[in-house]
């Protein structure tokens, strides 16, 4: 390593997914089931709002906490959702990834343990290590359901935080109300910070969405517009939680991200008025099609949200299977970048119907060969 490079950068390694894309770089018209973002475009009204903001001179820094109009709308929605949370504050951050970075930097000290579920979003262990904390993945195989007892067993005197993600990336699994309530109460009893990554909350297909914040008013929630409105490149997220915590996060944002891009925030304000039900219904239909096709040949749990499935590979290694899939012109993401285990792979059904049809046909051929 170059002598100028800091040791903390050793916490990051994207080589697993990079290897697959390097192998696939020569494919022509690949069947791409690897993309972790919606396949529809940003709503037209949101585009127009951002263009109007640019053309009317709203191009400078916004306040660090976000433009007032957006914060007012977010606060009104939160007051309706959590009427008993008198101390809950909200601010706008530079994407949910920015919110995660601020959360970790604000709360995790060297040696602190952070519990999260395995499989996990790729950033979780790296961000914990960046803060010199200790990642504590809790195994959720084979069905990927939230298990409060396993979390309780993982708690030690050094546990600082429990990080939840429902609906989850990479599995698409959602936590049921009872399990969320049990974990929320456990965190409250033990005095452990509870953080909920809810970026996929819009894409919820079965029943009613629940947040652990319903059961623990000290929960820090991270959400945003990237996935729900296909605004992944606009970098507008938001965090809400106790004011004593969010004020510290804002102090760090002031000296790092500064603010989310102002024109994009005006777009996000308009996005709050957009009806997304047709996209949710369309993705529910895609979920059903892909799940029913894969369940014939693969061991796979039916996802209740997000736009992912996480099947078990028909051979021992999920990474080797993802590489082999390239021979069928098929792009998958190996499960070992999301997990301590190398047994599964992730596919995204945020794709056209034609791509999904080609994808499930290729997966069927792979399973049967």
* pLDDT tens digits along 275-329: 999 999 999 999 999 999 999 999 999 999 999 999 999 999 999 999 999 988 9
Q: Residue 98 has which token pair?
A: 């920015």
Q: Residue 209 has which token pair?
A: 């969405």
For the chain, give the mean pLDDT. 94
| In the chain, % of residues over pLDDT 90 | 85
Integer Cα distance of 300 and 143 in angstroms: 8
Q: In what order do the strands lie in the sheet with 220-224?
A: 88-93, 237-242, 220-224, 193-197, 159-165, 113-118, 134-139
**How is the chain split into domains, by residue range?**
7-42+276-368, 60-271
Q: Specify the residue for token string 């099947």.
A: 311
Strands (E), 153-230: 159-165, 193-197, 220-224
Q: Which letter does DSSP use for residue 167 in this model?
A: S
Integer Cα distance of 164 and 161 in angstroms: 10
Report residue 8's pLDDT band, with 50, 70 and 90 as the boundaries.
confident
Q: Residue 211 has which token pair?
A: 């947040």
| In the chain, % of residues over pLDDT 70 | 97
pLDDT of amino acid 18: 66
Cis amide linkage into residue 167, ω under 30° from 0:
yes
pLDDT digits (tens, 9 = 90+) for 73-129: 999 999 999 988 888 999 999 999 999 999 999 999 999 999 999 999 999 999 999
Give the architecture (CATH level 2) of 60-271: 3-Layer(aba) Sandwich (3.40)
Report residue 19's pLDDT band, with 50, 70 and 90 as the boundaries.
low
- Residue 245 pLDDT exceeds 80: yes
Strand 159-165 relative to strand 308-309, pairing = unpaired
Q: Domain 7-42+276-368 is in which class? A: alpha beta
Q: Residue 267 has which token pair?
A: 């777009």
95 to each of 62, 199, 316, how far by Cα in Å? 15, 10, 36
């Amino acid at each position: 390593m170059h002598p100028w490079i800091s040791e903390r950068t050793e916490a990051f390694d994207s080589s697993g997914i990079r290897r697959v894309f390097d192998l696939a770089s020569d494919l022509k018209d690949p069947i791409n089931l690897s993309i972790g973002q919606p396949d529809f475009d940003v709503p037209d009204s949101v585009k127009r709002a951002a263009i109007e903001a640019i053309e009317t001179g709203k191009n400078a820094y916004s306040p660090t906490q976000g433009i007032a109009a957006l914060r007012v709308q977010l606060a009104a929605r939160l007051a309706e959702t959590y009427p008993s949370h008198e101390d809950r504050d909200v601010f706008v951050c530079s994407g949910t990834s920015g919110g995660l970075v601020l959360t970790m930097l604000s709360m995790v000290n060297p040696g602190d343990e952070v519990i999260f579920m395995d499989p996990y979003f790729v950033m979780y262990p790296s961000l914990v290590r960046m803060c010199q904390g200790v990642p504590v993945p809790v195994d959720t195989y084979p069905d990927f359901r939230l298990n409060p007892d396993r979390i309780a067993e993982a708690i030690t005197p050094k546990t600082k935080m429990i990080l939840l993600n429902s609906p989850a990336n990479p599995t698409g699994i959602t936590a049921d109300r009872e399990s969320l309530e049990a974990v929320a109460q456990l965190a409250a009893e033990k005095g452990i910070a509870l953080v909920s990554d809810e970026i996929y909350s819009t894409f919820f297909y079965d029943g009613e969405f629940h947040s652990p914040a319903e059961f623990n008013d000290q929960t820090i929630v991270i959400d945003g517009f990237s996935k729900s409105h296909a605004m992944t490149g606009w970098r507008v997220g938001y965090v809400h939680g106790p004011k004593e915590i969010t004020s510290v996060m804002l102090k760090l944002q002031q000296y790092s991200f500064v603010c989310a891009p102002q024109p994009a925030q005006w777009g996000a304000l308009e996005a709050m008025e957009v009806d997304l039900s047709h996209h949710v219904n369309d993705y529910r239909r895609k979920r059903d099609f892909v799940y029913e096709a894969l369940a014939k040949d693969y061991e796979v749990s039916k996802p209740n949200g997000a736009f992912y499935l996480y099947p078990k590979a028909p051979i021992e290694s999920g990474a080797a299977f993802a590489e082999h899939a390239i021979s069928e012109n098929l792009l998958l993401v190996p499960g070992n970048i999301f997990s301590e285990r190398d047994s599964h792979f992730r596919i995204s059904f945020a794709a056209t119907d034609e791509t999904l049809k080609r994808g499930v046909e290729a997966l069927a051929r792979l399973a049967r060969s």
